[in-house]
């Protein structure tokens, strides 16, 4: 009702200020309705490229001018860039960031670590954070780099990568199956080199949908990691799309589900974390900011409730970051609470894992 009133006021102002006739304004209104309420929904529904690009946003390559081969230019000293090729021929760009206590031990004399020893240090016993980012950008996103620095300061290795279609990875059309396969390949690569070092899988935003699916599959197969961290998660992508700000234009339209939600299932983009979490048999930590404008806090609450339906409460942690701190969707990494929360969760998860 408010939107309609605002639109009418705008039309009246155009008529009064610019002298546009009511007939012309009617034609303009009909044109807007035709484009926004008929053409756009039909294009979204019948052209799979459109919802795929809106879910994954691989074309938003920020920041510009990143040299992925030189992570030190992104402020990450003692970090290695390399590439792996998956079983289906997709090349993935990867960074391995050493924990602070490892830097001096592997220095080659000029202050930078010798790349030949990076893989060997993965089995040193220090926990490994396997980070899966959200949509848009790359592993070099500024808020992601902030988080890597927090984690390495705690004493953890950080291994992060770009899915297919992102950054300097192969430009292959993404899908849920595809990005979960990429994450799974990287996990297996890590597992082969980690020895007895704990691996904590960490997903942010869309990456929580990737990691929930991937870790559930690993648990079913008996190759589970030490723990799973879900930062700013949704419960499933259909609810996230339905509650998204852009969807408010169409939410009350007849056929909204068929027009906007059905293409997600038809084109392999469901990301049903609330279903997959039933098979996640490792400790889980969920973190969400109340003022998240991208993924509503309520969806994290729903995911937490889904987890509690299948797992004991002492294995599922939920941490709220109050709106007064303005962390939003990306900046929980700036909370002074975060290092302690992560350290305690990782230690408890290692203890739980060792008892199994």
Confidence of residue 3 (pLDDT cuts 50, 70, 90): low
Instruction: Give residue 50's pLDDT.
Output: 94
Catalytic residue among 217, 329, 335, 349: 329
Residue 213 is a catalytic residue: no
Alpha-carbon distance 227 to 150, whole Å? 18
Q: Is the pLDDT of residue 13 over 70?
A: no
First to last CA, the chain: 57
Please count the other Cβ atoms lying within 10 Å of the Cβ belonging to residue 279.
Answer: 16
pLDDT at 157: 97
Q: Is the pLDDT of residue 113 over 70?
A: no
Confidence category of residue 37, pLDDT binned at 50, 70, 90: confident
User: Mean pLDDT, to the nearest integer, of 68-84?
Assistant: 94
Pairing of strands 79-85, 91-97: antiparallel
Q: pLDDT tens across 42-67, in order?
A: 999 999 999 999 999 998 887 788 99
What integer best gives the mean pLDDT of the chain? 91
Share of the chain above pLDDT 70, in %: 90
Cis link prior to 63 (omega < 30° from 0)? yes
Q: In angstroms, what CA-CA distances link 283 with 32, 217, 280, 325?
A: 50, 15, 8, 27
Q: What is the pLDDT of residues 204-262, one digit of tens each?
A: 999 999 999 999 999 999 999 999 999 999 999 999 999 988 888 899 888 999 999 99
Residue of 168, 182, 274, 292 marked active site: 292
pLDDT in tens, 295-348: 999 999 999 999 999 999 999 999 999 999 999 999 999 999 999 999 999 999
CATH number 3.40.50.1820 is the correct assignment for the domain at 59-355: yes
- Identify which of 224, 232, 338 has the alpha carbon closest to the alpha carbon of residue 289: 232
pLDDT, position 30:
79
- For residue 104, name the pLDDT band (cuts at 50, 70, 90): confident
d(CA 168, CA 138): 9
Is residue 27 pLDDT above 60, yes or no?
yes
Q: Kindly list the domain boundaries of the chain, sorted by start residue.
A: 2-46, 59-355
Q: Within 13 Å of residue 11, how many CA atoms lie on the same side as its CB?
A: 17
* 169, 197, 205, 273: the active-site residue: 205
Assess whether 329 carries a catalytic annotation: yes
Q: Is 292 annotated in the active site?
A: yes
Residue 20: pLDDT over 80 = no
């Amino acid at each position: 009702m408010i939107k309609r009133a605002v639109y009418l006021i705008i039309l009246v102002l155009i008529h009064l200020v610019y002298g546009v006739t009511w007939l012309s304004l009617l034609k303009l209104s009909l044109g807007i309705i035709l484009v926004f309420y008929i053409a756009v929904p039909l294009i979204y529904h019948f052209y799979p490229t459109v919802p795929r690009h809106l879910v994954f946003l691989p074309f938003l390559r920020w920041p510009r001018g990143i040299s992925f081969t030189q992570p030190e230019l992104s402020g990450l000293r003692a970090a290695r860039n390399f590439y792996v090729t998956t079983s289906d021929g997709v090349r993935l760009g990867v960074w391995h960031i050493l924990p602070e206590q490892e830097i001096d031990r592997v220095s080659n004399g000029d202050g930078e670590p010798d790349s030949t020893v990076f893989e060997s240090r993965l089995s040193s016993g220090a926990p490994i954070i396997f980070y899966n980012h959200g949509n848009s950008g790359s592993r070099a996103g500024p808020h992601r780099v902030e988080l890597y620095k927090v984690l390495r300061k705690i004493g953890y290795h950080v291994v992060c990568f770009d899915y297919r279609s992102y950054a300097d990875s192969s430009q292959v059309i993404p899908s849920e199956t595809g990005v979960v396969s990429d994450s799974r390949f990287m996990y297996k690569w890590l597992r082969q080199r980690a020895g007895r070092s704990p691996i904590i899988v960490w997903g942010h935003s869309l990456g929580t949908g990737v990691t929930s699916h991937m870790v559930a599959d690993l648990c079913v197969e008996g190759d589970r990691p030490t723990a799973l961290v879900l930062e700013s998660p949704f419960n499933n992508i259909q609810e996230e799309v339905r509650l998204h700000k852009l969807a408010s234009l169409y939410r009350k339209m007849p056929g909204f589900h068929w027009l906007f939600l059905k293409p997600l299932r038809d084109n392999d983009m469901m990301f049903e974390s609330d279903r997959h979490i039933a098979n996640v048999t490792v400790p889980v930590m969920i973190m969400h900011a109340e003022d998240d404008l991208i993924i509503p806090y309520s969806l994290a609450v729903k995911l937490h409730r889904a987890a509690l339906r299948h797992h004991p409460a002492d294995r599922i942690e939920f941490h709220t970051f109050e709106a007064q701190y303005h962390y939003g969707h990306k900046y929980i990494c700036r909370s002074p609470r975060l290092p302690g929360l992560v350290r305690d969760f990782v230690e408890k998860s290692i203890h739980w894992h060792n008892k199994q």
